[in-house]
Amino acid sequence: MQAARGASLTHSDARSSDHSDRRRTSRTIFVVVAVTAYSVDVLAKIWAVQRLDDGDIEVLGDWFRLHLVRNPGAAFSTGESFTVVFSLVAIAAVCVVLWFSRRLGNRVWAVALGLLLAGISGNLTDRLLRDPGPLRGHVVDLFSVPHWPVFNVADVCIDIAAGLILLQAFRNVRLDGRTAETGKHQ
């Protein structure tokens, strides 16, 4: 096969082009998922603070309601006195996710890391910008279901990301899309 200006395309050129396309597509998915999910989280929290300060909204009776909570701790309101530590860990986690995103070559990994970045960044934004102050801000939670702590969109993003990461690990698919056993792309 001939390429532009008469140069021939070899099989390795085609593979390199395919790999480059896969990386570009994966990075685009990563950015779109991260920006979209982060925006939904931030907008939901802004809405919750404005609307839910007056009281809960029952969506599905006692099974699902919107309930405003300002959480200084981590999951299940643990570690309320370690808010600064959680903030610093979140900053490091954002850096790690961005570092690994450079190697993306798989769509599932792109969605997983995009959701993870959005979730970490959403809660980190609260810790940086909300009262009582930078690195100590309380995270806004708004979804309430029975027998479970109140949570937010960022928490859902992190949970879905964890599930996708586990799926990829069980499938032995690396960030670049290759499988651990065969080295071929998924």
Question: Does 42 map to a domain?
Answer: yes
Query: Which of these, 111, 133, 127, 86, lies nearest to 34 by C-alpha position?
Result: 111
From the list 131, 155, 159, 176, the catalytic residue is 155
CB-CB contact of 76 with 139 (8 Å): no
155 is known as an active-site residue = yes
CB-CB contact of 182 with 171 (8 Å): no
Question: Does 119 map to a domain?
Answer: yes
Domain count along the chain = 1
Question: Does 130 map to a domain?
Answer: yes
Half-sphere exposure (CA, 13 Å, Cβ side) for 75? 8
Q: How far apart are CA 176 and CA 180, in angstroms?
A: 11
CB-CB contact of 113 with 161 (8 Å): yes
Question: Does 76 map to a domain?
Answer: yes
Structural domain harbouring 46: 17-170
From the list 18, 53, 126, 141, the catalytic residue is 141
18 is known as an active-site residue = no
Q: How far apart are CA 184 and CA 186, in angstroms?
A: 7
Question: Does 5 map to a domain?
Answer: no
pLDDT in tens, the chain (186 residues): 445 555 555 555 555 677 789 999 999 999 999 999 999 999 999 999 999 999 999 999 989 999 999 999 877 677 888 999 999 999 999 999 999 999 999 999 999 999 999 999 999 999 999 999 999 999 999 999 999 999 999 999 999 999 999 999 999 999 999 987 666 666
Residue 130 per-residue DSSP state: S
Question: Does 34 map to a domain?
Answer: yes
Question: Does 3 map to a domain?
Answer: no
3-state secondary structure of 135: coil
Question: Does 75 map to a domain?
Answer: yes
For the four alpha carbons of 165, 160, 45 and 55, in that order, the dihedral sign comes to negative
